[in-house]
Amino acid sequence: MTARTEQPSGAGAAVANGVPALDARLRVYQMMVEMRDFEKRAYDLFLQGLVKGTSHLGLGQEAVAAGFGAAMRPEDYTFATYRGHNHTLARGVPMARIMAELMGRELGLMAGKGGSMHLTSVEHRMMGSYAIVGAHLTIANGAAWSSKLRGTGEVTVCFFGDGTTNIGAFHEALNLAAVWHLPVVFVCENNRWMEYTPIRSVTAVDHPAADRAPAYGLSASVVDGNDADVVYSVATSAIERARSGGGPSLVEAETYRHGGHSRADPGKYRPDDEVAAWLARDPIPALRHRLLDAGVPEARLVAIEQASLAAVDEATAQAQASPAPPRSLVERDVFADGGASWRR
């Protein structure tokens, strides 16, 4: 049966009595602030027409990406969705490279060939952001399988949304992860809405991910995804479990996106009181208050906040200064010889 833990236990030395060590909490706070500032800037640039096409913001959901990011080791693998700016930042990928990718510039992480929805940095073990709902859960299994066969101790963490729990790939992937006993952690960010439709209107169970996972033999938990301490704690224990041969598990983190689904969507289809209630549970001020209560001097938090804004300014300037990618890239890297030739 689903274990509904609000305060996970056994999280190891990094967490004592459900409270992470101070350095971890500060790292998570810094990550969340940077994610927030980065995405607010990305949204401004979208409105100015400098970020083109589409972008999907995780404003409000930062605690999930940051909590897991802080709990992962450098050799662990991340698989994320098109809503993946934060998960990419969480692996230490330079802001300017991400901003430039959003803006379609040569400096971009993939020189503009992927765009906002496909952020990938193999160097940082950010193994991709995937835009076909559900597919990447099966690919994450493959990375975890490879780690297991190679005996490396790496863990794969795979993020996805609530809407993803109704596509076949989710079910195929959970079953295979369990029967192969893979070192993978599936993280469902349940933000209650798919695009414009609430998940509860299309799903018969309360917890679309955590209620299904046990049927496949995965242990699952539901946690407050807006509580960064809780997320970090559950991440630490789920990752440790996978690393030590305990197999796959699933975490359903309850959260909310502050804005719309994508682009300039204002998200007006959502009830005002629901939005207001979740805005009041913003994960960033929540952790800030708790850090102050724990005796962290405010000046230290202010320094983090100022450095974050400066970093976003600098990243924006670098991205804007970068030229458009050369046209020669169009026919590059279809195949491993670096080219696109299909005939001889």
Partner 1 sequence: MAEMTYRDAVARAIAQEMRLDPSVVFLGEDVGAAGGVFKATVGLLDSFGPTRVVDTPISEQAILGAAMGAAMTGLRPIAEIMFSDFFAVCWDIVANEIAKTRYMTNGQVRLPLVIRSGNGGGVRFGAQHSQSVENWAMAVPGLKVVAPSTPKDVVGLLAASIRDTDPVLFFEQKSLYSTKGEVPDGEIVDELGRASMLRDGTAATIVALAGMVPRAMAAADQLASEGIDVTVIDLRSLVPLDVTTVATSVAQTGHLVTVEENPRLCGWGAELASIIAEENLFDLDGPIVRVTTPHVPLPAADALEDAAMPDVTKIVDGVRRSLR
Ligand X SMILES: Cc1ncc(C[n+]2csc(CCOP(=O)(O)OP(=O)(O)O)c2C)c(N)n1
Chain contacts with ligand X (rule: CB under 6 A)? 81, 83, 131-133, 160-164, 191, 193-195, 261
CA angle 65, 66, 72 (to 5 degrees): 90
> Which partner, ligand X, partner 1, none, binds residue 139 by CB below 5 to 8 Å per kind?
partner 1
Rank residues 36 and 136 by Cβ distance to partner 1 and give the closer one: 136
Alpha-carbon distance 213 to 170, whole Å?
10
Contact 62, 111 (CB under 8 A): no
| Residues from 169 through 198 that contact partner 1 (CB under 8 A) | 169, 172-173, 175-176, 179
User: 219-224 and 184-190 as β-strands: parallel, antiparallel, unpaired?
Assistant: unpaired
| Residues from 74 through 93 that contact partner 1 (CB under 8 A) | 77
Contact with partner 1 (CB under 8 A) among 140, 228, 234, 238: 140
> Which partner, partner 1, ligand X, none, binds residue 78 by CB below 5 to 8 Å per kind?
none
Alpha-carbon distance 240 to 201, whole Å?
35
Cα 190–chain centre separation: 12
Indicate the length of the chain as a whole number: 344
DSSP symbol at 249: E
* 343 is a contact residue toward partner 1 (CB under 8 A): yes
Phi, psi of 13 (to 5 degrees): -65, -25
DSSP symbol at 196: S
DSSP symbol at 202: S
Residues 6+ apart with CB under 8 A from 279: 60, 258
Indicate the burial class of 151 (C-beta count within 10 angstroms; 0-12, 13-18, 19 or more): exposed
- Quickly count: other Cβ atoms within 10 Å of residue 182's Cβ: 24
Q: Provide the minimum distance between the beta carbon of 160 and ligand X in the complex, in angstroms, as a whole number.
A: 6
Contact with partner 1 (CB under 8 A) among 168, 266, 271, 295: 168
* 336 is a contact residue toward partner 1 (CB under 8 A): yes
Alpha-carbon distance 214 to 271, whole Å?
32
Contact with partner 1 (CB under 8 A) among 104, 128, 225, 260: 128
* 166 is a contact residue toward partner 1 (CB under 8 A): no
Alpha-carbon distance 299 to 327, whole Å?
48
Nearest residue to 70 via CA among 113, 9, 22: 22
Handedness of CA 25, 28, 34, 37 (dihedral sign): negative
> Which partner, ligand X, partner 1, none, binds residue 340 by CB below 5 to 8 Å per kind?
partner 1
> Which partner, ligand X, partner 1, none, binds residue 173 by CB below 5 to 8 Å per kind?
partner 1
* 155 is a contact residue toward partner 1 (CB under 8 A): no
> Which partner, ligand X, partner 1, none, binds residue 195 by CB below 5 to 8 Å per kind?
ligand X
Closest residue (Cβ) to ligand X? 161
Rank residues 29 and 79 by Cβ distance to ligand X and give the closer one: 79
Q: Provide the minimum distance between the beta carbon of 232 and partner 1 in the complex, in angstroms, as a whole number.
A: 26
Phi, psi of 254 (to 5 degrees): -85, 125
Q: Provide the minimum distance between the beta carbon of 211 and ligand X in the complex, in angstroms, as a whole number.
A: 15
> Which partner, partner 1, ligand X, none, binds residue 175 by CB below 5 to 8 Å per kind?
partner 1
* 253 is a contact residue toward partner 1 (CB under 8 A): no
Question: What is the x/- site pattern for partner 1, positions 90-109, by CB under 8 A?
Answer: -------------------x
* Residues engaged in binding partner 1 (CB under 8 A): 77, 109-111, 113-114, 118, 120-123, 127-128, 130, 132, 135-147, 149-150, 156, 168-169, 172-173, 175-176, 179, 329, 332-336, 338, 340-344
